[in-house]
A and B are shown apart, each in its own frame.
Chain A
Amino acid sequence: MSLISTLARLEAVSTGRAQPAATVRHRHLGDRPLVLVPLITAGEAGAPLGALVGTDRDAPRLLAVPQPRDRDLRFAFLAELAGVVLPYVDSYAESVEAAERTETDPETGKRVKVEVDLCADAPQLIVPSRAGIDLVRLLGRSMRFRRTAEQDPEAPYPAPPRVPLLGRWLTHFGERARVPGSSLLLAMTDLLGRHWVTGQSTLEDQHLGALLAWIDPPEGVTGAEAALRAELERDEQGQLLCPPAGPATDPAFDNKLLAPAIERYDRARTALAAAEDGLEADDRLGALTAAEREIRDLVLSRTRPTWDAVWRGLDLLRELPEGARVEERWTRDRWSFTGHRDRLLAGEPPQPRRDDAVTAANKLATREREQARLEAQEALDDPLVMAGRRLSGEAFAGEVTDVVMAYSDGKRPSPRPLVTVRTDDRPQLGERTKVYRSLGGKPQAAEFVADEEDGAYVVLRVLDKMGRGKEPEPGSVPEKGDRVCFTLFEHEQRGGAKLPDPEETPWTHGGPPGEAALEPADPVTEEDVL
């Protein structure tokens, strides 16, 4: 934890309110995000119990699985989820704008610009917590290898038509969420945690109710009290007033309310199956419907508070202006979305269970580059984030007190002005340390020459972005009296080296992975059919 966030945490404890960790919003928020509040059943990994989903905060769609172990009901749930998510995703796939991309020409091997479609906007999924992101990934994994009756008439348990497609999209969202700074799939607790610092531990910040309680406590109550209430307070039936944001549910809810309701549902279903005539069946169907409604009400009662909390979080976040470089990162999300859309259209097989060596290395390289880029961009976008970097000696700000013109040695001397900056910061500068400042959105490099008066004055030699002439271009060199901020970290990331194609994987990494075989869905085990 950085010094500045420790200080903010202490301040949050002493003031009883969360402290801002950012002055701008560092993640993209779309106009029409799709909020998904899923619940799962205890005891079985990834068995959905229900969900609230939708883009309209006043009209969420309630989905529920009255008997979560029943595979048919689970498929029905997933098909219904596909019916909400896929039209939403598709609505972004249509509208495109022309864009350029550099590709390697297969014939000449040269890098050429090609005109391609780029989706004008992309869908955005918001889940309450990080565990929700894991569930999205798990659901995607459980669905994308399924075969529909149309794809494979022999499949023993064919999936409803659009379910495998939903699996592929959820997998894509889940995988994209691992890229630092991406916004296709976000967890509300992460979003709020990025922009506010509470007086509790980051582990406790995973509780959406407690986190919101710190950020926006009710009148007359401190954040700590409100958070404690959100975590612990129960009604006379022993149920939490602020149910966990899920996907896991509270055991007291499972034991006292859910299990008896499911049991009643099971009994009603058995009774219906045993009905001997139409009249009896009608009665018993009524009982079954009532039992089902009871479960739906229970699911709604546990998801609705979280649903409202997520939208309240969105309100709070929308009050912050968007950071200047957020749009640029969102464009990469749009590329990612467009790319997956194109792969689906091209009829490519689902994402494999495991990445091959080259794909894994490429993903890791991309994510490391994005992480470094995100850290730099957040600091450049936000003086409060930059303050943290300054405090840790990775940047410094100050006033230019002197500029002395100087030139490089060599046949064609170029300007290398010496700039003296008066600063109260304590940057970790060493001999010839490179520093950067943002000049019209582009980084300008300088190097550390000397410090004077025990670090109060820093002398820098400006190295580039001054044009080709002997005299620097106007505005390219700081002037006396200018406020400047230099960072010790680079603003832009270099692209890494190109890795071999998967079919040229070297012997050190097991050689080429071989033909991609169509991966079968997980085999049905005894536990699947309870």
Chain B
Amino acid sequence: MTTVFDPSAAAGQATDAILRDTLHGTARGVVVDSPPGAGKSTLVVRAALELAEAGHPLMVVAQTNAQVDDLVLRLAEKNPELPVGRLHSSDSDPYDKALDGLENVRKSAKAADLAGLAVVISTAAKWAHVKVDEPWRHAIVDEAYQMRSDSLLAVAGLFERALFVGDPGQLDPFAIVGSEQWAGLAYDPSASAVTTLLAHNPDLPQHRLPVSWRLPASAAPLVSDAFYPYTPFRSGTGPGDRTLAFGVPSDGSGPDRVIDEAAASGWGLLELPARHTPRTDPEAVGAVATVVRRLLDRAGAATSERAPAPAPLTADRIAVGTAHRDQAAAVRAALAGLGVTDVVVDTANRLQGREYDVTVVLHPLSGRPDATAFHLETGRLCVLASRHRHACIVVCRAGVTDLLDDYPSTEPVQLGTVVKFPDGWEANHAVLAHLAEHRVTWRP
């Protein structure tokens, strides 16, 4: 007998088990792995509300101010009555102005001002400066895989037990100086917080969210196979649940053809002729900008399970992802030249946790003569390939597969470290092999 996979039921079961362990379990920590768009934020908000309702004072640790503000807004949306504290830095403009409109959110740069509130939220960097006599009974650590071990060390004394939530497939935290000296130590300060936590507490309950609500049916299998080979997940929607249509027909150019390919299949590869280029490859940057321009010009409409009527594909539903900041700046300049100013263009690091209908990605290895660890990093490609609800268009120069074969991974092996699977080489090949089926070659 075959059972039909019911995404809602599977996700519900996972969430229930997590909340059971968090609220009633005996372990000091609970770890939740969440693939892209699997409802991590929803889980964090729900866990926070349930803990607060059970009368447990709660501290929430997120990694960036944007994430903190986002969580505060979501909490207030779900329960406007809940007294929430937003602990912020003493810089100018420390938080989103939208928080000023929320009645039950108190903001302060001093933790003492927020004492007694049901939930207090801040960044790990700010929490590190907080001193308390009595630790919090409960904490939630969001984006725990992007948090560095040393930053957990600075805040772990503030709570007794914690729920750690994060996406193991995204970018690992990094240090700007060498840290080989500590490689292999369980508490390597440059490792991720979860790595250290599990090395010292291997018996903690670990859960994972099995369904990605963001990724369409066309993307989930590829992202799951390429980046989460041992912890597969499914998409919450089936084939045909989401469609992307354009009011203006194709003009037959490369960008238009790749847009149509991506609209039909969820993926598109716009391949430029092989060439070694500087990082800000003008042709590739121009191609990215042209694709975005055409996406906007062709009056796109996205239909999804969210609403019966198609939603127009507007600039705020499109994002461009790059590996480097100078590439992002170059794309922004090129877009401005085409009259597009309100499309988000950012690096993989900054796109983490964000969601769009269509993404246009400048492949990290495009035009490069070498494949460094930075450009091969699994998490970088994973972030770039998993931000979209409908389609992802990759712009790349030909020859990356050869480049990958010419440059096998040569990172030194460190004793005692956990080898990460899949490695960037493998993941890059898997993604390229899939993209090759959706290739449109174009000479600008």
A423 within 8 A of B: no
Q: Is the CB of B201 within 8 A of A499?
A: no
Q: Mark B11-31, 1 if CB is under 8 A from A, else 0.
A: 000000000000000001100
Q: Is the CB of A509 within 8 A of B200?
A: yes
A364 within 8 A of B: yes
Q: Is the CB of A507 within 8 A of B154?
A: no
Q: Is the CB of A500 within 8 A of B190?
A: no
CA A361 – CA B155 in complex, angstroms?
A: 13
Q: Is the CB of B196 within 8 A of A355?
A: no
A70 within 8 A of B: no
B178 within 8 A of A: yes
For A255, the chain B residues whose CB sits under 8 A away are: none
Q: Is the CB of B201 within 8 A of A368?
A: no
The listed residue (B175, B177, B197, B278) touching A508 by CB distance below 8 A is B197
Segment 356-396 of A: residues with Cβ below 8 Å from B: 356-358, 360-361, 363-365, 367-368, 370-372, 392-393
For B325, the chain A residues whose CB sits under 8 A away are: 428
CA A358 – CA B187 in complex, angstroms?
A: 9
CA A204 – CA B411 in complex, angstroms?
A: 19
CA A508 – CA B177 in complex, angstroms?
A: 24
Interface range for B? 20 to 34
The listed residue (A428, A497, A500, A504) touching B129 by CB distance below 8 A is A497
Number of A-B contacts (CB under 8 A): 92
A180 within 8 A of B: yes
Q: Is the CB of A364 within 8 A of B177?
A: yes
Least distance between B172 CB and chain A CB atoms (Å): 15
Q: Is the CB of B128 within 8 A of A496?
A: yes
Q: Is the CB of B189 within 8 A of A364?
A: yes
B167 within 8 A of A: no
Q: Is the CB of B156 within 8 A of A178?
A: no
Q: Is the CB of B128 within 8 A of A505?
A: no
Q: Which of B28, B157, B182, B187 has the most CB of A within 10 A?
A: B187
For A509, the chain B residues whose CB sits under 8 A away are: 149, 152-153, 156, 186-187, 196, 200
For B193, the chain A residues whose CB sits under 8 A away are: 508
Q: Is the CB of B153 within 8 A of A358?
A: yes
B125 within 8 A of A: yes
For A510, the chain B residues whose CB sits under 8 A away are: 186-187, 200
For B150, the chain A residues whose CB sits under 8 A away are: 360-361, 364-365, 499
CA A167 – CA B306 in complex, angstroms?
A: 68
CA A372 – CA B175 in complex, angstroms?
A: 11
Q: Is the CB of A368 within 8 A of B175?
A: yes
A110 within 8 A of B: no
If A392-B326, A497-B128, A510-B200 touch, does A505 touch B154 (CB 8 Å cutoff)? no
Segment 1-53 of B: residues with Cβ below 8 Å from A: 28-29
For B197, the chain A residues whose CB sits under 8 A away are: 508
B179 within 8 A of A: yes
Least distance between A45 CB and chain B CB atoms (Å): 15
Q: Is the CB of B176 within 8 A of A500?
A: no
If A178-B181, A508-B29 touch, does A364 touch B156 (CB 8 Å cutoff)? no
If A364-B190, A371-B176 touch, does A508 touch B129 (CB 8 Å cutoff)? no
Q: Is the CB of A354 within 8 A of B185?
A: yes
A506 within 8 A of B: yes
Least distance between A409 CB and chain B CB atoms (Å): 13
Least distance between B331 CB and chain A CB atoms (Å): 12
For A497, the chain B residues whose CB sits under 8 A away are: 125, 128-129, 154
Q: Mark A482-510, 1 if CB is under 8 A from B, else 0.
A: 00000000000000110110001111111
Least distance between A1 CB and chain B CB atoms (Å): 11
A-B residue pairs in contact (CB < 8 Å), sample of 6 = A3-B278, A360-B185, A361-B150, A364-B179, A367-B177, A507-B201
Q: Given known contacts A357-B153, A506-B157, A508-B152, what 17 new A-B pairs fall within 8 Å (CB)?
A: A360-B182, A360-B189, A361-B153, A364-B175, A364-B179, A365-B189, A368-B175, A372-B176, A392-B326, A497-B128, A499-B153, A500-B157, A504-B157, A507-B28, A507-B201, A508-B200, A510-B200
